[in-house]
Structure 1
Amino acid sequence: MRINKKVCFITGTGHSGSTLLGLLLGNHSQSFYCGEGEKSRFLTKEKAPLQKRSCKFCGIHCPVWGTVSLTSDCDLYEQLSQHISTTLGITAPLMIDSTSGADWIHQQYKKLVKTEAKPHLIFLKRDGRGVVNSYRRKYPDLSIETIIENWIEKIKKAQALFEEFAGPKIIIHYEELASNTTSILKGLCDFLTIPHEPQMRDFSRQTYHILGGNNGTQFLAARHQSQLLQTMTPSNRQYYQEHQSDIILDLRWQQELSPEQHQIFARLASEVNQSFEWHPS
């Protein structure tokens, strides 16, 4: 009998809050957050960087990703569900995948529609200035123009995917998720037809086994399990060490982007950013 009944994809772009959303949804008793499922392609590639082919929390000795054996062209979510049922004793009919790339989601959707599992899609939007600023910190050698153009390209692919997606789908904003977490989670539980559980906000209850994702968010969510500070830049390390454990809206772009960078963004992306722009009340 198939364990995996639903797969929830999170599309958008990197640095939009997909790791936070995945962790929150993965805290539900009926779900398992696998991280970025696309990175399962690297599990058997010994020359691939270790961070791409191992659990972000457990490393190569992860009881999930360190022992799973995926068959070629597999139904990833059912094989993973069967595996965690055996190794962890967890039955999770809902799988959460925060791979934001449209190509991966297209591929998995085509496989899932041939099964009993029902694919769902969340389009997680974030003000493009916040995304660009986050990429700017991570890739300081890239020009601001290149980063903006990359964001526009990925967003257009995500929008096209959302429009074409035939299953249940919903749009939420990172800023709303971080500001009104409980309310947004209640709405998403209705969307996924699962009961809302208040403990979804409690990261200390979980042990995570995740491929890919944002180091800082993962550290805040699971300080008890994480060694991720070692992989961060000095500025990010200080930010996350001083960060409270609770969910806090990240609006660093308002102070960190220079007036010139704001002008460049407005010139290149103001039209695209209209439905993403955050106007705090």
Structure 2
Amino acid sequence: MVPSFGMAKSSALKVLKLSERRSEINPNDESGLILPQVLGNIEFKNVHFSYQAGPDSEVFDNFSLKCVAGGITVLVGPPESGKSTAIALLQRFYDPVKGSVSLDGHDLKTLNIQWLRSLIGVVQQEPVLFNTSVRENIAYGDNSRFVPQEEIEASAKRSNIHDFIKSLPQGYDTSCGTMENQFSSGQKQRIALARALLRNPKILLLDEATSALDKKTEQIVQDGLHKALSGTTCLTIAHRLSTIQTSDKIVVVHRGKVTEESEMSATKLDPNDIFEIHGSIPMAVFPEA
């Protein structure tokens, strides 16, 4: 009993200490530039980065990448090569140790952080649904205003989830809190995608956001995205060949660096061509091929 109490006390102290930690980047900081116009050009320039938990292990080692405004850039590469870190840096969850990340030529560190994040829509591989209705989960994509039902349904249609929602007994009033475990991973991803699209983001970050969809559904969603993303800069992380079909640029990330990239149309490439582009990367990057 006493040893168990001692272990619990030690664990509680660690939790309390962790809760007292504050981010070096203040998410409520009201200072910084707000650009009058956003094109959406993104650049990582000579970025070096490592997490505090492993300061001696660089995630990015002179990482450089340009994402053209309005284009779809796809990052491919083996696990733990730094792809998700790129998305985290763009949202300013962290700052580079060296180098810079910029939007339309302005270092992200000089921009108003709340404004910057309001420009970005994000969908993760394992999205979070809140304990409220499907309607409110999607509307939360733009919580700065009241969102009419027509806009909610339009976003749901773009992510190919509208028909499924309408088939539920309570439709858009269905509680995600009670239904979350009954939703498939693909359905959760499409609800989260509808939420991200609702705000009409200037930058859309997709971290394997369609990984749980079957090929047919993913193709429908990709086609819808391609039509809906006019003027939006999209950075996508992919492990499946089908995900890159509508991309403008394919970038291979390996050991914290961009090792290869191609701007040729992905729709004209077969799997063997793709593997020639990133011959140094294991074929498991695209397991469906």
Category of TM-score, reference length = shorter chain? under 0.3
Q: Which has the higher strand share?
A: 2
TM-score normalised by L of structure 2: 0.27
TM-score normalised by L of structure 1: 0.28
Q: Which structure ranks higher in relative contact order (CA pairs < 8 Å, sequence separation ≥ 6)?
A: 1
Instruction: State which structure, 1 or 2, has the greater radius of gyration over its C-alpha atoms.
Output: 2
Q: Which has the higher helix share?
A: 1
